[in-house]
Amino acid sequence: MDRRKFCKTTVAAAIAAATPVITACGEKAKVAAEAEASIRAVSLNGGEIELTKAMIRELGDAMTGPVILSEHPEYEGSRKIWNGMHDKHPALIARCLSSRDVAQAVNFARDHGLLTAIRGGGHSWPGKSMCDDGIVVDLSHMTNVEIDTGNKIGMTAGGALLGNLDDAALAKGLVTTAGVVSHTGVGGYTTGGGFGRLNRKYGLTIDNLVGAEIVTADGQIRYVSAEEEPDLFWAIRGGGGNFGAVTQFDFQLHDFDRNVLSGMIVWPIEQAREVLEFYADWQGSLSREMYTGPAMITHPEAGHVIAMEVVYNGDPTQGEKELAPLRAIGKPIADGVIVQDYKVLQTHEDGAVAHGIRSYAKNAMIGEFTQELVDDMVDAYIADPRAGIFTHTCGGAVADYGATDTAFPHRDTQTMIVFFTGWMDPAEDEVGKQMCRDWHAALEHHSLGYYDNIEQEGDTRVARNFGPNFARLREIKAQYDPGNQFRLNSNIEPA
Ligand code: FAD
């Protein structure tokens, strides 16, 4: 639906153009709320809703951050998210600067029955942090991270990026598991689970979450932990954005030497079978310090390659010993494994997947890295520079939790294979998507489920994917979000 069609009259359109932003910082004169103008928006079930200027002004008055409407100079920038394929036009963007702002925006959305998106870092592959004609509860300006060095806790605002968390923690000689691209948001990443280069040692990011502040659909600001509202705390550790907008994550941090043995070993794709067969045997014997998994990609200079990323979180001398058998496989064309700053590692993919790329992704949680999987990986390889696969290695501390200990159920898997395609030209959208689907389809029968956070088309399989946790998640959803206000996610319908 084109929200520009919603301006009922030319008078309304003129007023909307002249009054693009509503703030509560002494600039409310910008709002012509006394005018009999309104904007149209969309309800939770797709119906049309009229929002008068007075209503919007009331929200603006209640918030410290601005309410951004379509004609505001920051509207275009604020509606953009990472994946350039998603070009959505919300009716209004409530840019929150505090938990109280988030509560005001949620109350407004609920009271008016508005379609509601929660935006953290904006990395949602399927674009669920933005919506057409609804309200966006935008946390992207809430990025503060404070470190309690005594208790080794990282208090991280709900819109922070992983880079903000890494920077603040590393500066104090501390760390927790964070994903592989620093411009990913802590919000969506954590509520979905959180895989990263340290997860074999420290577990998923949710395993390091000791508490969180969350605004639920009733507008309440709650603190949840193992002691306080434990069901809700359980649900946000893997259940995604279904239960509210998390305004603060409190992470357990760990002492960390940021100089880690790490980097890539690269072989021509013709050696893929040899490398993968070795990996299938070797992987089960890895120490928790060692994180390594294959990627099949096109390198700008080396062409089609199989690569292994290596990160050893421990004494590099010990790491060299553990790595030696991998280094002896085949004839690598490059071996970039050196002792280097962890922060270099955590940012070195940032440019390759910069904002604006058009991208599609699917994934498969693999129980066991079998010979049949190796055969299929070799046979299904797509030699196209727009396509690639990489892996997140599980096991180790990830498997210290059982399937029902947190809402994230896939604890007994060895690996996650991520299939991704990326391109810039909109004319390639269909080809790009289909290539990813085809590659995934060739390997999907090896999977036990999928990781919600990296999935374009998961919604029809939500029940199966949450497995033993689905019924409990639905009960908790019914308690905290009975109207399914937060539905732009891998949606769990209230029981
Ligand atoms: P957004 O697009 O802002 O939000 C996505 C969804 O998360 C929203 O629709 C909402 O439902 C929910 N959400 C966001 N913020 C909050 C909040 N504060 N409270 C409650 N709900 C919220 N995942 C990994 O595990 N490991 C990786 O290494 C990894 N690498 C990635 C690299 C790239 C380039 C991309 C695009 C994704 C990667 N992901 C990875 C997946 C990533 O975890 C998800 O895309 C995640 O949803 C991104 O979070 P965000 O806050 O940036 O997303």
Q: Closest residue (by CA) to atom 36 of ligand 1?
A: 123
Specify the pTM: 0.93
Whether the CB of 185 sits within 6 Å of ligand 1 = yes
Q: Is 353 in the pocket of ligand 1 (CB under 6 A)?
A: yes
Rounded to whole angstroms, the Cα distance separating 16 from 53 reads 9
Confidence at 458, pLDDT banded by 50, 70, 90: low
Cα(271) to ligand 1 centroid in Å equals 34
Core vs surface per residue 375-385: b (16+ CB within 10 A) or e: ebbbebbbeee
- Among the ranges given (209-213, 317-321, 458-462), the one the predictor scored with the smallest mean pLDDT: 458-462
- Its sign, for the CA torsion 430, 435, 441, 447, is negative
Instruction: Concatenate the DSSP letters of all residues of 117-140 into one string.
Output: EEESSS--TT-TT--SSSEEEE-T
In 445-467, which positions are buried (b, 16+ CB within 10 angstroms) versus exposed (e)? ebbebbbbbbbbebeeebeebbe
Q: Which atom of ligand 1 is nearest to the CA of 183?
A: 52
The predicted model gives 186-206 an average pLDDT of 98
Structure confidence by residue, pLDDT tens digits, 344-383: 999 999 999 999 999 999 999 999 999 999 999 999 999 9
Max CA pair span of the chain: 75
pLDDT in tens, 300-321: 889 999 999 999 999 999 999 9
**Does the beta carbon of 206 sit less than 6 angstroms from any atom of ligand 1?**
no
What distance in Å separates the CA atoms of residue 432 and residue 336, rounded to the nearest whole number? 30
The C-alpha atoms of residue 137 and residue 96 are separated, in whole angstroms, by 7
- Average per-residue pLDDT for the chain: 92
* 146-155, 244-253, 424-433, 462-471: segment of lowest average pLDDT: 462-471
Cβ(416)–Cβ(199) under 8 Å? no
**Residue 34 predicted with pLDDT over 90:** no
What is the CA(54)–ligand 1 centre distance, in A?
A: 34
Distance in angstroms (rounded) separating the CA atoms of residues 159 and 99 = 11
**What mean pLDDT do residues 270-299 have?**
96
